[in-house]
């Protein structure tokens, strides 16, 4: 059973460009969470999705950021018009049930130049 997959692992974008981060949850997991981590900081919750539905997006900035988890295919975190402050590691985690243990992907390290 493959673990949570994220791609790309590293992404470099210029200010103003769009960043698309993909996450394929573990097989059988329908709960997906996105987190952001700055160097030497904790994990900041961004959004929680359950197949086609956004359950909680309280941690996601209201502008420029969006997330989806379609019926088919990976979950996508989209950042429009990136700024330098968006540079961070973005982790996706999946869980087999609500409030269950979360399995993290390797992360996407976004650098905005």
Partner 1 sequence: GQQVMQIPQYQHVQEGEDFTTYCNSSTTLSNIQWYKQRPGGHPVFLIQLVKSGEVKKQKRLTFQFGEAKKNSSLHITATQTTDVGTYFCAGEVAGANSKLTFGKGITLSVRP
Give residues in contact with partner 1 (CB under 8 A): 31, 33, 35, 40-45, 48, 55-56, 58, 91, 93, 98-107
CB of 16 to partner 1, least distance (A): 29
Nearer to partner 1, 48 or 65 (CB): 48
CB of 30 to partner 1, least distance (A): 12
Contacts of 57 (CB under 8 A, 6+ apart): 46, 47, 48, 67
CB of 32 to partner 1, least distance (A): 12
Nearer to partner 1, 38 or 83 (CB): 38
Nearer to partner 1, 66 or 104 (CB): 104
β-sheet bridge partners, residue 83: none
List strand residue ranges (DSSP E) for 1-113, in order. Answer: 5-7, 10-13, 19-24, 31-37, 43-50, 53-56, 65-68, 75-79, 88-95, 103-104, 108-112
CB of 17 to partner 1, least distance (A): 25
Nearer to partner 1, 33 or 69 (CB): 33
Per the CB < 8 A criterion, the answer to whether 7 and 20 are in contact is no
């Amino acid at each position: 059973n493959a673990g949570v997959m994220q791609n790309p692992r590293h992404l470099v974008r210029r200010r103003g460009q769009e960043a698309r981060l993909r996450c394929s949850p573990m097989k059988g997991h329908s709960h997906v969470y996105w987190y952001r981590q700055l160097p030497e900081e904790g994990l900041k919750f961004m959004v929680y999705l359950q197949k086609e539905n956004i359950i909680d997006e309280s941690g996601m900035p209201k502008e420029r950021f969006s997330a989806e988890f379609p019926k088919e295919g990976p979950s996508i975190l989209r950042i429009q018009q990136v700024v330098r402050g968006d540079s961070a590691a973005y982790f996706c985690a999946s869980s087999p049930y609500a409030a269950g243990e979360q399995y993290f992907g390797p992360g996407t390290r976004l650098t905005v130049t």
